[in-house]
Structure 1
């Protein structure tokens, strides 16, 4: 029995709703101007909810995936792939933006009145590395301000649960259930996303609209077309390298995380939506 093909609307319904809400919110913000601040609480509700859920979500998803791994060599392969992809794609993006900025300086003709710079403290490599990778107390770990220490803790915790063996199965199964619960919370929260992101954009445009049309216009005309071109050209290339035609087709699930990233300007806020996209694509949990 062959499955019925989904229509364009069924495939992209949520992404179209998100884009439409952002466009409508931006138009409303431009019309209302300073009065658009009344929309801000509705946008903040969505952003704050995302930030609230991201810390426990990161902990349970990472620790549960490692705790339930049957072969630790797989973890090593995943980490190798992660660093390779992160470095190579980051290098390509960096080179492209450096070349473009050299050819078309985005700050040309803009004068900024900046306060005098404070004296720069000497850089202490050892202390900086320790501060980046660890925290001084457990409560500090449960904060989106310390995501890297939280991720490292989650990996180590998952490894220890896995190493305990049969006795750790209860914890591993519990973590897996918790991960499913938090992902379900994300699913529920995304019903509010069109309203939240629309209101958030409306408030932003109302507050900074004049600056966007004057001081930042040149930078926007350079940066956003480049981002769109990179999205349309580089992403399909990466997807094809990863999984061929099936990978390119799966890019439809990347639209929601991309829109959330543009709207919130926060990679942390985008994490929950990325996890949902991975689940839709069929990426294994670990």
Structure 2
């Protein structure tokens, strides 16, 4: 019952998608009559995303006093988080290039008659900055908004005592808009169910087959990354002894993550495992709590799958260096920056939609993937924190840390 309770909402969402799909199969294109119910849900999410991103990121950074005290650990930790996130993204990228997650359903993508040609340098400028403050309020400038939010948070922290009232305002704004998201999510089963009824009614069983193919790709790839990737990281951290200690102690956190569906709920078991492995107290008690919120290799894996999937569904060419580089960047944002925000999964999905110029109906299509891949993604997210703490220890304490570490 406790496991069912932990996955209650994802199960409800999955059930609503299945019911909506059945309605679409039965009634066909007549199911389009309830499509506005799905459009309402999508519009509500896009309506709240701009203030949510600003308040969440800026308030989180404005209150990060621990970074000043533990700069060395934090610097090493972030480098490990970024490198492992890139590796996870590339790992899934290779899998999606070899085995396309969608090939049956091709939803037409409306494109303008005239497309303006811009250079790569101009594209970078337009992606990361805007010429006017008011342009930050558009969801098409999401990365520029994130950079602005980071700057506001850093500046608030640097001001010190005078910035505390503003930091309190940012924290209050974050809480308010998270409550709005919570209220909107009560409507999610109806919205997603209605949208999938119209979607399946129009495009039939081909789209269902694509979802099955995406799931078949994700589960083996995430399990392979869990065994191969984490074994490699443990070996880099502590050689053969590091590998032995890691696998001797990691199964309990992995099972807990699968059972609870929460990296935060797995944290106590993870701390205990890291202690038994021999990770020093100051490192494990910094890396693991922060990793539970901002280190998500499983989310990087799923973000890449979502990008490749939606490209196939909309019959877009998923190839080329710039396309892959952008995809890896989005995966990093989804797995590190956005994962630290409650509801960050949806924001990451919105980024995929906006940065690639996809229509609004792409959002529920890729959101459904996140629902069904959550269990293995959570397992990879949580256990990745433990092996990351080992690598951080190797960087800070040298290669002989594994001999000095007390296993208790």
> Is this contact kept in 2: 1:55–1:142, CA < 8 A?
yes
Post-superposition Cα deviations, 1:181-228, rounded to whole Å, max 9, x if no partner, equal 111222222211111111111111011116648xxx6x6664442134
Q: Structure 1 pair 121/203, CA: closer, same or farther in 2 (3 Å)?
A: closer
Unaligned runs of 5+ residues in structure 2 are: 235-245, 264-298, 312-329, 347-373, 386-408
Distance in 2, matches of 1:181 and 1:75, equals: 29
Residue 173, structure 1, aligned to residue 168, structure 2: yes
2:93 paired residue number: 94
1:149 paired residue number: 144
* Candidates 225, 228, 231, aligned match of 2:216: 225
The Cα of 1:253 is off from its aligned counterpart by: 4.0
Return 201-210 or 268-277, whichever deviates more: 268-277
Distance in 2, matches of 1:75 and 1:143, equals: 33
Post-superposition Cα deviations, 1:65-92, rounded to whole Å, max 9, x if no partner, equal 1111113437755653452233111111
Distance in 2, matches of 1:181 and 1:106, equals: 38
Q: Structure 1 pair 187/233, CA: closer, same or farther in 2 (3 Å)?
A: farther
* Candidates 32, 35, 38, aligned match of 1:40: 35
Distance in 2, matches of 1:179 and 1:119, equals: 40
Larger RCO (CA within 8 A; separation ≥ 6)? 1
Post-superposition Cα deviations, 1:74-115, rounded to whole Å, max 9, x if no partner, equal 7755653452233111111112223335xxx9769x99x99x
Q: Structure 1 pair 127/274, CA: closer, same or farther in 2 (3 Å)?
A: closer
Distance in 1, matches of 2:230 and 2:31, equals: 39
Q: Structure 1 pair 146/235, CA: closer, same or farther in 2 (3 Å)?
A: farther
**TM-score (normalizing by structure 2):** 0.53
The Cα of 1:246 is off from its aligned counterpart by: 3.0
Q: Structure 1 pair 165/56, CA: closer, same or farther in 2 (3 Å)?
A: same
Q: Structure 1 pair 12/239, CA: closer, same or farther in 2 (3 Å)?
A: farther
Return 71-80 or 162-171, whichever deviates more: 71-80
Q: Structure 1 pair 85/186, CA: closer, same or farther in 2 (3 Å)?
A: farther
Alignment of 1:266-285 (within 5 A): 273-274=343-344
1:84 paired residue number: 83
The Cα of 1:140 is off from its aligned counterpart by: 1.2
Distance in 1, matches of 2:52 and 2:227, equals: 28
Distance in 1, matches of 2:200 and 2:9, equals: 23
The Cα of 1:174 is off from its aligned counterpart by: 1.2
> Is this contact kept in 2: 1:40–1:199, CA < 8 A?
yes
Return 80-89 or 187-196, whichever deviates more: 80-89
Alignment of 1:14-25 (within 5 A): 14-25=9-20
1:69 is paired with a residue of what secondary structure? coil
Post-superposition Cα deviations, 1:9-64, rounded to whole Å, max 9, x if no partner, equal 22222121111111000000111111111121111111111111111111111101
Distance in 2, matches of 1:239 and 1:158, equals: 33
1:135 is paired with a residue of what secondary structure? coil
* Candidates 212, 225, 249, aligned match of 2:256: 249
Q: Structure 1 pair 175/239, CA: closer, same or farther in 2 (3 Å)?
A: farther
Distance in 1, matches of 2:4 and 2:230, equals: 23
Give the root-mean-square deviation of aligned CA atoms: 4.3
Return 180-189 or 194-203, whichever deviates more: 180-189
> Is this contact kept in 2: 1:33–1:206, CA < 8 A?
yes
Post-superposition Cα deviations, 1:104-159, rounded to whole Å, max 9, x if no partner, equal x9769x99x99xxx999776232222111101111111121111111111111111
2:131 is paired with a residue of what secondary structure? coil
Q: Structure 1 pair 247/134, CA: closer, same or farther in 2 (3 Å)?
A: farther
> Is this contact kept in 2: 1:61–1:176, CA < 8 A?
yes
Distance in 1, matches of 2:343 and 2:310, equals: 14
Distance in 1, matches of 2:94 and 2:142, equals: 27
